[in-house]
Amino acid sequence: MNVQVKCALMCAVYMICVFKSCEARSKRIRPVIHKSLLVVDEQGTEVITDASELTENAMTKSRKRIFMDDHHFVKRVALVESSLNKTSKEGGLWNVDECAFKSTQNKRRENKQLATLHKNIRRTFGVTWSKIKYRDLRRPLYSVLAARIILEMAVPSIPRGLRNQARLWLETYHECEGKHSHPQVWEDTKGKFIRVVKNSCASSFLKCEHVCRESSKGRAKCECQYGYTLQSDGVSCSDGASRSPSGTKAPSPELAETGCGNGLKCDHKCIEVDGVPQCACQDGYQLHMNGFTCDDIDECRHSPCSQLCKNTPGSFSCSCRAGFKIQSDKVTCEEEKTKCSINDIACIQRCTEFGNCSCPPGTAMGPDGQTCIEVNECSLFKGVCHQNCINTPRGYRCTCSKGYELNVNGISCSDIDECARGIHSCHHNCRNVPGSYFCSCSKGFQLSDDLKSCVDINECALYPGICPLPSRCRNTIGGHTCDCPKGFVNHRHKICIDEDECANSNGGCDQVCQNYPGSYRCSCKYGFMLQSDRKSCKDIDECSRYSFLCQHKCVNTPGSYKCTCPSGLRQHLNGFMCL
């Protein structure tokens, strides 16, 4: 392949990459907000994880993260606050102090960083943060956003180390509560933070290669899938048996149980693997890292049931919600055949007798246990929709006000840019505003009564003195001009000055040209007479016109005359008489 072909291919690949990156940047990243994050006083590890990951992955239109990398700190704060039973206040799952919450809304006009956070939160999550009240933090989404804003404003970065995160939690995140003056109190509180994080699989402290499990004693540990052995680091797994005392592997069921003559005391049973005695566990248990204790496996963490799961020692059991029935596989749930409508009295009585009655979606069993009543989710879960909530027979749906459109998450709304989409009715210019737009006109035009079309402004009638004398104003479409009368020329700044016609070819005059404001006139020298064209001059024949000019003979000359005398006489000094 020659050099020219290679260059052409590289240019083509580069242009494709640039186009794709630009296309990606033009699309706004709109996260999917789980409904559980908008329910008041909603709790649980899944809610904490969903809220933390939602804010961690939130990006602006230019694909930049809204919040800094927290190294799982935000998630750990909620886990610690929950374990200490401090999330029942209005601060929500993240137990945000009221004075810290107020700092997220005060002086945002003076603080550019805070103003930028408010703008990005509004554009990404559809939440106008300045309108959020402290009591709204009982909803997980608002609580985690408050915690994020507090951290963004308080520290330039969040540390990785667990001990440093505990210090940040005590001294900065809960700064409003005051610092612990006694060193022992600080150490005890810091120790609680560290213990909760280390013993929680949801805190992402243990980097388990396969599975992280929490034992009944409240301790988190890593486990390996069948056929793999947990290594001495406590997190990684390797294929095959490990002869290291710190590595454990679940024994193969095909191995025959034998007695252990070396005095090894196993919790369940002892087997030999490649001639080496090892402890093994019964089904539903997994060997502990110590090599002889068996811990119960919580099968429910892998969601083996289609609905409800209950862990039992060495096993688990599945059950179904009301209106469903467990199937023969003891795992799957299917809806009961008996399903009553709201007004089917006979069906309701039959259901009450057999105890297997359920209500249609969007309804719930009434207090009497026999009547299905409609559930208004819009009233039950206030704030589930960012703008308008409409109750439906089978649930609810979110709608947006005029000028907004529903996002793909079905909850938040985004402004419709009518100007960019070309769906406006403006005659000249269009400017978008949240929820609407307004029109404006170009220079020389004004908006008509319909606030959309533009009409010409008659500057001559509106501003009588807009053109200085002697110029005259003439209206044009979108403007005006100042015209000068005959004999004047436009100098500058709409000023008319006299035109000196005599300066150009003597104004066309035969002899003398006289200029005056706005015009000029021609005249002739003495002895000449101006003709009818008012420009040319003709000599006056004084001898023909005035016979008395000379005593004897008169001779005409250009512009004058002279007298002559007969032979033998001489002319007098007066030029008239002869002597």
In this structure, the answer to whether residues 514 and 547 fall within a common structural domain is no
Cα gap 337→163, rounded to integer Å:
57
Q: For residue 323, tell me if it sits in a domain.
A: yes
Among residues 390, 415, 440, which one ends one of the domains? 415
In this structure, the answer to whether residues 286 and 325 fall within a common structural domain is yes
Cα gap 202→205, rounded to integer Å:
8
Q: For residue 285, tell me if it sits in a domain.
A: yes
Q: For residue 350, tell me if it sits in a domain.
A: no
Q: Which domain holds residue 398?
A: 375-415
Q: For residue 357, tell me if it sits in a domain.
A: no
In this structure, the answer to whether residues 273 and 298 fall within a common structural domain is yes
Q: For residue 292, tell me if it sits in a domain.
A: yes
In this structure, the answer to whether residues 551 and 533 fall within a common structural domain is no
What contacts 537, CB < 8 A, 6 or more positions away? Answer: 510, 511, 524, 525, 528, 529, 530, 531
Among residues 304, 335, 366, which one ends one of the domains? 335
Whether the Cβ atoms of residue 123 and residue 407 lie closer than 8 Å to each other:
no
Cα gap 482→490, rounded to integer Å:
8
Angle of helix 73-83 versus helix 45-56 axis, rounded to 10 = 160
Q: For residue 320, tell me if it sits in a domain.
A: yes
The count of residues in the chain is 579
Per-residue pLDDT of the chain (579 residues; tens, 9 = 90+): 444 444 444 544 444 444 444 444 444 556 778 878 888 888 888 889 989 998 988 888 778 888 999 899 999 998 888 887 765 567 888 888 888 888 888 777 778 888 899 988 888 888 888 888 888 888 899 999 999 999 998 899 999 888 888 888 888 888 776 555 455 666 777 788 888 888 888 888 888 888 888 776 667 888 887 677 888 888 888 875 443 333 444 443 333 343 465 556 777 888 877 677 778 888 888 887 777 778 888 888 777 888 888 888 888 889 888 767 888 888 888 876 555 554 555 555 555 544 445 566 566 666 666 567 777 778 766 667 888 988 887 678 889 999 999 988 888 899 999 999 999 999 999 999 998 999 999 999 999 999 999 999 998 988 888 888 888 889 998 888 888 888 888 777 667 888 788 888 888 898 899 988 878 889 998 889 989 888 899 988 888 888 888 888 898 888 888 898 988 888 888 888 887
In this structure, the answer to whether residues 280 and 318 fall within a common structural domain is yes
Q: For residue 328, tell me if it sits in a domain.
A: yes
Q: Where are the alpha helices (DSSP H) in 65-182?
A: 73-83, 98-103, 112-125, 140-154, 162-168
Among residues 415, 445, 471, which one ends one of the domains? 415
Domain count of the chain?
4
In this structure, the answer to whether residues 279 and 330 fall within a common structural domain is yes
Cα gap 139→553, rounded to integer Å:
131
In this structure, the answer to whether residues 526 and 508 fall within a common structural domain is yes
In this structure, the answer to whether residues 325 and 295 fall within a common structural domain is yes
The CATH number of residue 507's host domain is 2.10.25.10
In this structure, the answer to whether residues 569 and 528 fall within a common structural domain is no
Q: For residue 61, tell me if it sits in a domain.
A: no
Whether the Cβ atoms of residue 129 and residue 137 lie closer than 8 Å to each other:
no
